Chains A and B, each alone.
Chain A
Amino acid sequence: MSSITLDAIAKSFGKVKAVHELNLEIKKGEFFTFLGPSGCGKTTTLRMIAGFYYPTKGSIKFGEKDVTRVVPEKRNTGMVFQNYALFPHMTVFENVAFGLKVRKQSSSEIKRRVEDALKKVRLDQYMMRQVSQLSGGQQQRVALARALVIEPDILLLDEPLSNLDARLRDEMRTEILRLQRDYGITTIYVTHDQVEALSMSDRIAVFNAGVCQQIGTPKEIYNNPANDFVASFIGETNLIPVTPAAADAGTIRLNWNEDSGKSLVLHNYHQGKWSELSSQPLSVSIRPEALEVLEQPAGENTFEGKVEMAQFTGAALQLFIRIGSRLVQAMVLNNLTLRELEEGDIVYVRFPEQHMRLLPRVMGEEEHEE
């Protein structure tokens, strides 16, 4: 087990910059997730840590040891590949034993440890099977066992669940977490599934286009996203591009960019934070579940809107409400307090101040949803 330090690493493939300067510190025993859309450089970063690519710039440290230029076989990392990369000509046992054989363990020791590892992933009765005779989930667990049995300092998982169906994915998620806690091993997990990232990780790094956007715990990232990209990538959110009109004594008035006459007012905004933000393009982000849908107008930050679509999902009612030129998404819990809403109804939508986040706008207009 060891910590990992990425010091300003960058990687280019010819002209393509796959990873821009990335600084990252991953603590001992942490479950750390790289999250981001396809092509954002997650795999590239992971492969630099495993040693399959060498960074164009910067350095990588495991604990105190600089491993930037160490060959993959000397790094003692355990990697689970997206396609598992099980050796098709070997049995389950031989696959798991491979790393131990390389390490010249005695055959009795190998047998003991392989059996132990296979027991941990609950595959001990499949030991002598050929790997081609296993189901997807079982192959996945063999790959995990093979990576864990060598007691690696670091476990690297590249979208290990993407080839599995939804039910199996849930099951394996718990399994991976359980094993990670059992072994207490520093783990980097690559995914583009935000639910997976939020539910499993100690901390998450969100990537976009080769640049790390934010690093934080799942709660921090969900509740205090660093910018509009993070806010929209993690969970559902409404983003409203705004321009500040007036700001004094902690009260800020923000005009909607697309609807003149509409504005949001924040009363207790932190002075220091404001001075950081004020010079950049801004968006207000608010989660659907934070919007209040009312039948009567109710003071500040409330707008009249028309329900364009109402979807009943069981636990909640999902509403798409037209406010001026914007379509906002709201979620109302199904607690029977609201009258039956239908398409075409006029409602009042309140933006509670404590749920609004004022964020730097990094996405172009065309990247916004809707």
Chain B
Amino acid sequence: MKNKELRFTLLLLLPVALVLFAYVLYPSLRTIIESFSSKEGFSAATYDTFFNSESKSNLEALWNSVYISLLSVFLSACIGIPLAFIFNKFDFPGRGFFSSIAILPIVLPSLVGVMAFMFLYGESGLVPNAIKDLLGLKKVPFSIGGISGILIVHAYTMYVYFYMTVSSTIRSIDPSLEEAAYNLGASRLTVFRKVTLPLLTPAIVGASLLVFMTSMASFSAPFLLAGGFRVLSLQIYFSKVNGNLQMAATQSVILSIVSIAFLLFMRWYQNRKDYRMSSKGIGAHRSEVKNPYIKWTMVLIGIFGVVVLLLPHATILLLSLVPDGTWTWQKYPTKFNLNNFLLLFNEPRIWDPVRNSLLLAFIATAGNLVFGVLTSYVLVKRKFIGKNMLDILVMLPWALPATVVGMNLILAFNEPSVFTFGNILVGTFWILPLAYFTRHIPLVVRSTNAALEQLDDSLEEAARNLGAKWFYTFRRVVLPLVMPGVLSGTLLAFVQAVGEFPTSVLLYTLSNRPISIEIMNQLRMFNMGQAAAYGMIQISLIGIVLFISNKFLGVKAERSL
């Protein structure tokens, strides 16, 4: 009966709402409260310090974050958009191969990517030194570090957002639209300005905001490359390390406000204009490049691009083969073997972080799987009041920078609470899986939503009509059909958990330190080889998972972002 349905919805909703409240909303509220409370009670002193202090270090960090983000957007767009055009509008030898290589930066976990760039282009990096020696220069011709380093790493990893969103839009533009414009007498330029560009605008704006938010939240690049340069996400970490929790909370609140403002702007923009294409399934016509000079120039540029894109991966592989202590004063490594990998299996101290990472990621992801499926089912298939609120709560961890998520958890669970059954989580094993879980709620829910929305309601009704109870229907009809979508989200959450650095560095303990932390430690001890070997493990894991998703679940890597 009607009330029965309602009660059932409530029954499903209750655990979902409880988890979201306890681990998403409550920690955020704790941070806000903490930012206003000093020993004497309520006080906005830290906000005052933030905006008005003599040193201006915080304001400077905020400003740096914003302008680095703006520049990252610009650089990523400059690389991503032209690439999308070249690969989707023209046909030339090797196009398919180049275009699949173009998304490879996403298989580099952020910390490993930054590390690779340091070894490649840093002060003592391989490339500048190689050029110096080849040309017989006195000094290295260039090297990255500080802002330039951060920007280059951002451009390298984030152009992919532009590349993928613009590519998929170009592919979905019905070629007859452009043909119609030509047919009406428009010139190439007019067609581009009046037809193509307006159709691409939503994709470009969407990607811009995404890149902006990602680089506002970016932690690994500044952490390794910033030098004395301040950005807000890093300031939070320093405040926490220095024990100034109120300041860390204040900085978190301000960083969140900027991020959430952008998220809201993005939602508003996406709802305002909807240029969804009315015709579907028409592949864009690619024009074949006829002129041999242009054709082979393109191929050459393509090959050069592939080399640049793959150099970081190659560097990590190369370094991982360099045994520790054999590359100290020499300019180039001289000795290569599999020692670093062998150590992994022979030396428990070296193996521990790998085991920890896998275990932590497994626990978190298992939670994500169960919670994600339940939440998504409630959101997509059940009717109730307050759905919008729930939706916003689900998306919140996505809008919050990782550092902020970490801070939220610290401030909420460094004291006993009902949500932890009276335990203190900070400093225990369980805080890290909880952090990974919280971070990846949106990812799994969104990919499950997509699958569930595809699922026709009448299938569920047919099953019930044949006499199946709700749970049987769910198990035998709903789950098998949405499994590919669920798994692709879950697997992605798993690899991201394995590579996660910002929350790990805030929350780890000695006994549960994950790979990323060990990479940091090995770098501090100048054990490049061992650090790179850990990096290789992360890269291989991501590679394997993407391969599985692509091969067996029919999921395109670009769709999972």
Contact = CB atoms under 8 A, between A and B. Distances in A.
Contacts of A81: 458, 461-462
A51 B468 CA distance: 13
B467 interface: yes
A88 B468 contact: no
Interface string A224-268: 000000000000000000000000000000000000000000000
A72 B464 CA distance: 6
B2 interface: yes
Given A81-B462, A102-B466, A89 B481 contact: yes
Nearest to B465: A79
Given A102-B468, A102-B472, A150-B467, A89 B461 contact: no
Contact of A103 (B456, B458, B462, B467): B467
B459 interface: yes
A185 B458 CA distance: 23
Contacts of A54: 1-2
B317 interface: no
B335 interface: no
A102 B465 CA distance: 11
Contacts of B461: 50, 52, 72, 79, 81, 85
Interface residues of A, number: 29
A268 B506 CA distance: 98
B350 interface: no
B349 interface: no
B12 interface: no
A364 to B, nearest CB: 35
B463 interface: yes
B524 interface: no
Contacts of A69: 1
A331 to B, nearest CB: 41
A77 B4 CA distance: 20
A73 B456 contact: no
Nearest to A150: B466
A43 B456 CA distance: 17
Contacts of A103: 467
A317 B468 CA distance: 56
Interface in A54-110: 54, 69, 71-79, 81-83, 85-89, 98-99, 102-103
B228 interface: no
B1 A73 contact: no
B41 interface: no
A241 B469 CA distance: 55
Contacts of A87: 459, 462-463, 477, 481
A111 to B, nearest CB: 17
A146 interface: yes
Q: Which of B456, B464, B472, B481 has most A Cβ within 10 Å?
A: B464
A51 B463 CA distance: 13
B4 A50 contact: no
B158 to A, nearest CB: 38
Nearest to A74: B467
B480 interface: yes
A145 to B, nearest CB: 12
Nearest to B462: A85
Given A81-B458, A85-B462, A98 B468 contact: yes
B1 A85 contact: no
A77 B466 CA distance: 7
Given A54-B2, A72-B461, A83 B456 contact: yes
Interface string B444-465: 0000000000001011011111
Given A85-B458, A85-B461, A99 B467 contact: yes
B472 A79 contact: no
A75 B466 CA distance: 9
Contacts of A147: 465-466
Contact of B465 (A50, A82, A89): A50
Contact of A83 (B458, B466, B469, B481): B458
A73 B459 contact: no
A77 B459 contact: no
A83 B456 CA distance: 10
B487 to A, nearest CB: 14
B466 A85 contact: no
A99 B1 contact: no
Contacts of B463: 87, 98
Interface in B461-501: 461-469, 472, 476-477, 480-481
B169 to A, nearest CB: 29
A77 B468 CA distance: 12
B465 A72 contact: yes
Nearest to A78: B465
Contact of A88 (B464, B465, B481): B481
Contacts of B459: 85, 87
A300 to B, nearest CB: 57
Given A50-B465, A87-B459, 16 more contacts: A52-B461, A54-B1, A54-B2, A71-B4, A71-B464, A72-B464, A78-B466, A85-B462, A86-B462, A87-B463, A89-B481, A98-B476, A99-B466, A99-B468, A102-B466, A150-B467
Give the 9 A-B CB pairs with smallest separation, nearest first: A99-B466, A85-B462, A85-B458, A69-B1, A72-B464, A79-B465, A102-B467, A102-B468, A73-B464
Interface of A: 50-52, 54, 69, 71-79, 81-83, 85-89, 98-99, 102-103, 146-147, 150
18 contacts: A50-B465, A54-B1, A69-B1, A71-B464, A72-B464, A72-B465, A73-B464, A79-B462, A81-B458, A81-B462, A82-B458, A83-B458, A85-B458, A85-B459, A85-B461, A87-B463, A102-B469, A103-B467
